[in-house]
Amino acid sequence: MVANRIPCNQEVDAAILGKSLPFNCGRVCRNRIVKASLSERHASFDPTNFENHGLPKESLLNIYEKWGNGGFGMVFTGNIMIDMKHLEAPGNVIVSKENDSPVLRSLLKRLASALKMDGGLAIAQLNHCGRQTPEFLNPHPKSASDVKLEIDFHGMGFGKPVPLTAAEIKDEVITRFVESAKICVEAGFDGIQVHAAHGYLLAQFMSPQTNQRTDEYGGSAENRVRIVVEVYEALRKDLPKDFIIGVKVNSVEFQEGGLETSDARVMCAKLEEIGYDFVELSGGTYENLQMHHVKESTRKREAFFLEFTDKIRPVFRNTKMFVTGGFRTVEGMVKAVESGACDGIGMGRPIASEPDLPKKILAGLAKSAPDTKVNHDIFASGAAAAAQMWQASERDFTQGNGDPCDGIADLSDENIAKEFKEALEEFQNLIERNRAAGLPVPNNGILAWYPKGSKYRKSE
């Protein structure tokens, strides 16, 4: 039971969200709600032994059994790495020629099955982090150009990147996307999503701030999106005709010299032209991840990026368009789809709180997401989502009571949220102390915590 839901119009009919959506490749998404990617960090990390590096853990399979029973049209994995030298964080799943093995393949099969337990489509998000690879993992990552990320991101720094040569673009990027995707096909995924948003490698090519190349991959918007086009062409050539190929791109980057919506529109027109099955629009990079409301005008329409995506929308005719970021009420979702602002919506943080929110929405049992009492900035709300994923990871679906939310802390309850904030502060202090002493960050930076009174809380 959710203590508090976001206030909303109770009369709105969710029926339009239950309508199916056909893709270019012939596959059909059964409804309009997708589980957006959330980096889980529940894979093995062992860079000294490739065969045990980036393998999905049992805990990861447990999480996806909850989302796989959540009623989504598509379930996206968190970002899966195509190159172990360019991780987002320790604990990412890696699917590459270096760690390919029967064990990896059999775990991926189980992962794909978990994602689609109740009939949704299983989509693996594939990513190469480029210059956003933390420096402690790779001091000289590859990027479009040598523009260093000069920030401290939650305690992480970033090394000066080395520009990819044209040959490396083919061999180290495009070919890797294809190799990883082929393994996903064999594992039983229904499709992949190419990650070209949030400042990762492909977004580094798309942004004029990070792409200062003078070859055919730099300069005009058409040139900067070329790599995303070539990734698609290589994938389509080598993958089954009915395998879904989607992409996540930014509608805007909120930073000086970053990607503007006018460029994103030109790029999306190209993605439509070559035939991507779907485009999920988001925004921001590590330099400015605007995952909360900063303007009253966006708050009114609920989703953060609609004012930008509206300008892009007209270019899509056959490619289906999803928008992710900020959707919290059925009213907001229905209005977005009904008005034609997008074909479907993605949700991230709300479905870490409540993995079966779509099922409840489509059955008329919920009109909005839990009204979480944790700060909405990306640090606190991201930590809350990670803690809730940890809670979902602790046992498989059959061990619970048939409720995908079993054991997940309800942060819409003031008292539980207060406890969470205290636990998070304590955890942060522990991380700082460990860092200062040169010790590893505990449990891969994930707060492993149950509120007092939870039946799963170990005795003190």
Binding site for ligand FMN (CB under 6 A): 36-39, 78-79, 125, 195, 197-198, 248, 282, 291, 324-327, 347-350, 382, 385-386
Between residues 23 and 327, which has the closer beta carbon with respect to ligand FMN?
327
Instruction: Quote the least distance from Cβ 324 to ligand FMN, whole Å.
Output: 4
Q: Which of 249, 232, 111, 246 is nearest to 191 (CA)?
A: 246
Between residues 213 and 303, which has the closer beta carbon with respect to ligand FMN?
303
Instruction: Quote the least distance from Cβ 307 to ligand FMN, whole Å.
Output: 15
Instruction: Quote the least distance from Cβ 367 to ligand FMN, whole Å.
Output: 16
Sign of the dihedral through C-alpha 246, 348, 262, 231? negative
Token pair for 240? 């089954």
Between residues 80 and 107, which has the closer beta carbon with respect to ligand FMN?
80
Q: Which of 283, 289, 295 is nearest to 324 (CA)?
A: 283
Helix (H) or strand (E) run with residue 34 in it: strand 33-35
Between residues 217 and 390, which has the closer beta carbon with respect to ligand FMN?
390
Helix (H) or strand (E) run with residue 280 in it: strand 278-282
Strands (E), 91-150: 121-127, 142-143
Residue 87 burial (CB < 10 Å; 0-12/13-18/19+)?
buried
Q: Which of 407, 345, 393, 336 is nearest to 72 (CA)?
A: 345
Give CA–CA dist 364/380, Å, rounded: 30
Between residues 39 and 204, which has the closer beta carbon with respect to ligand FMN?
39
Instruction: Quote the least distance from Cβ 460 to ligand FMN, whole Å.
Output: 28
Task: Give phi and psi for 28, each to the nearest 5.
Answer: -125, 135
Instruction: Quote the least distance from Cβ 291 to ligand FMN, whole Å.
Output: 5
- The answer to whether 150 and 126 are in contact (CB under 8 A) is no
Between residues 25 and 123, which has the closer beta carbon with respect to ligand FMN?
123
Instruction: Quote the least distance from Cβ 165 to ligand FMN, whole Å.
Output: 27
Instruction: Quote the least distance from Cβ 88 to ligand FMN, whole Å.
Output: 7
Nearby residues of 282 by Cβ (< 8 Å), 6 or more positions away: 197, 198, 248, 249, 250, 251, 305, 323, 324, 325
Q: Which of 285, 208, 196, 284 is nearest to 235 (CA)?
A: 196
Give CA–CA dist 102/108, Å, rounded: 10
Between residues 298 and 324, which has the closer beta carbon with respect to ligand FMN?
324
Instruction: Quote the least distance from Cβ 82 to ligand FMN, whole Å.
Output: 13
Beta bridge partners of 134: 158
Between residues 170 and 421, which has the closer beta carbon with respect to ligand FMN?
421
Between residues 163 and 350, which has the closer beta carbon with respect to ligand FMN?
350
Using Cβ positions, the residue closest to ligand FMN within the complex turns out to be 348
- The answer to whether 189 and 96 are in contact (CB under 8 A) is no
Q: Which of 169, 84, 79 is nearest to 124 (CA)?
A: 79
Between residues 112 and 129, which has the closer beta carbon with respect to ligand FMN?
129
Give CA–CA dist 388/410, Å, rounded: 9
Instruction: Quote the least distance from Cβ 380 to ligand FMN, whole Å.
Output: 10
Helices (H), 26-101: 58-67
Instruction: Quote the least distance from Cβ 298 to ligand FMN, whole Å.
Output: 12
